[in-house]
Structure 1
Amino acid sequence: MIGLLYRAADRLRRRRYPENHGRIGEDLAHRYLRSQGCTVVARNYRTLAGTGEIDLVVWDGGRLAFVEVKTRSSTDFGPPESAVDAEKRDRLRTAARDYVRRADVDWKAVRFDIVSVILQASPKIEWLRGAF
């Protein structure tokens, strides 16, 4: 029964947003962070070993923020940021260490953020600085 409901919800979402939710959310987050004065230095950064990926890497003042973007069409199943669990945070930290090592940045300048995007008629964007 629950599977049927999920499939129906997926069909409705695809009709409303035929494109990729994640890509739309990342584009909105990118523009939002730039409008807030951040300098975006990387999008979809992947480690050489392929063990991790970071949606956005931005400078916010003197802090290098590794940003995970989570996009949902509604909050029916909880807020988007709730999808960033301990395992995901560990993978982000691993990818961030790789980036910091390659870019020669001081780890003390690093911060982990989440940008939560809810796709509505007027998308709702929330930036959680220092989320973990």
Structure 2
Amino acid sequence: MAQTTAVSSTHRLWIGAQAWALRRLSAFSRAPRTAPHLETGTRGEREALFHLRRLGYTIVAHRWRTPKLRGDVDLVAGHGHTLCIVEVKTRTRRDAVPAELAVDPDKQRILRRLARAYLHRLPPRAREAPVRFDVISIYLESSPTSTPAPSIQLNIELNQGAFGWA
């Protein structure tokens, strides 16, 4: 069941400009550096957020968590009349195993529990909306260039309805 929401070309350009600006600003960040894999994950979540916005999703929460449960929801978004719980998986290269397969049964169970907790906090009427679990795979692959800094090629794969409530 694929839903599409029209996004104007002007809106897409604006979202693209925002994403570009944040990429540039993060390069100048004076914040203490974290572990490389955590920086990769943060960058992937940012790319996923802007990609989903370009597709017409409305982002309503980022890194949502509750103190009662372990884990977090990377993104919560509206897509049409559907509430989407989005898990982002980021890799710096493609392996034989796709990134989305890292959302194993244990991770799915955690996401389902978190989704129930999120829904419980909504007004009763909002809880009636259909819920979908999406997994977005972000590949930030380096491509060698003649310049000192390698360029990054961004590949994004969105798996709508990657798993269900069962």
TM-score in terms of structure 1 length: 0.82
Greater RCO structure (CA 8 Å; 6+ sep): 1
Q: Is the 2:64–2:74 Cα contact (8 Å) retained in structure 1?
A: yes
Alignment of 1:85 onto 2:111: no
Name the larger-Rg structure: 2
- Root-mean-square deviation (CA, aligned residues, Å) is 1.7
Q: Distance in 2 between matches of 1:97 and 1:52?
A: 13
Q: Distance in 2 between matches of 1:18 and 1:48?
A: 24
Q: Distance in 1 between matches of 2:71 and 2:137?
A: 20
Structure 1 moving runs of 4+ over 6 Å: none
Task: Indicate the percent of aligned positions where both proteins have the same amino acid.
Answer: 41
User: Please, which runs of 5 or more residues in structure 2 have no aligned partner?
Assistant: 1-35, 142-151
User: Please, which runs of 5 or more residues in structure 1 have no aligned partner?
Assistant: 1-16
**Within 5 A, what are the aligned runs for 1:43-82?**
43-82=62-101
Indicate the residue corresponding to 1:113 in structure 2: 134
Q: Is the 2:75–2:87 Cα contact (8 Å) retained in structure 1?
A: yes
> Which SS does the other structure have where 2:161 is aligned?
coil
TM-score in terms of structure 2 length: 0.66
Q: Is the 1:115–1:126 Cα contact (8 Å) retained in structure 2?
A: yes
Indicate the residue corresponding to 1:14 in structure 2: none
Q: Is the 1:100–1:107 Cα contact (8 Å) retained in structure 2?
A: no
Q: How much has 1:25 moved relative to structure 2?
A: 0.4
Alignment of 1:127 onto 2:158: yes
Q: Distance in 2 between matches of 1:106 and 1:37?
A: 21
Q: How much has 1:74 moved relative to structure 2?
A: 1.1
Q: Distance in 2 between matches of 1:86 and 1:99?
A: 20
Q: How much has 1:107 moved relative to structure 2?
A: 5.2
Indicate the residue corresponding to 1:39 in structure 2: 58
Q: Is the 2:69–2:114 Cα contact (8 Å) retained in structure 1?
A: no
Q: Is the 1:52–1:94 Cα contact (8 Å) retained in structure 2?
A: no
**Higher helix content, 1 or 2:** 1
Aligned length: 116
